[in-house]
Amino acid sequence: MMDARIETLKQRHAKLDREIVQEQARPVFDPAHVGALKRRKLALRDVIVLYEKTRPSAL
């Protein structure tokens, strides 16, 4: 169950990364929007790391 949640979070993290790249590729992009995307991406990374640390290890 935890692995599925981590995988979902990783997919959302990758999607945010793609959105950031797409936004920055625009001739005129909104730096505030890019900053918000980056903060969301960073927050997701923090949650992923937390889940991975607290996940019971397979024996």
What residues contact residue 1 under an 8 Å CB cut-off, 6+ apart?
none
Residue 59 inside a domain? The answer is no
State the average pLDDT for the chain: 93
Write out the two tokens for 8: 């979902």
Q: What is the pLDDT of residues 38-57, one digit of tens each?
A: 999 999 999 999 999 998 76
Residues of the domain holding 48: 2-54
Residue 11 inside a domain? The answer is yes
Residue 45 inside a domain? The answer is yes
User: What DSSP string describes 13-33?
Assistant: HHHHHHHHHHHHHSSS--HHH
What residues contact residue 45 under an 8 Å CB cut-off, 6+ apart?
13
**pTM of this structure:** 0.84
Residue 25 inside a domain? The answer is yes
* Number of domain units in the chain: 1
* pLDDT value, residue 46: 97
Residue with tokens 């730096």: 31
* pLDDT value, residue 58: 52
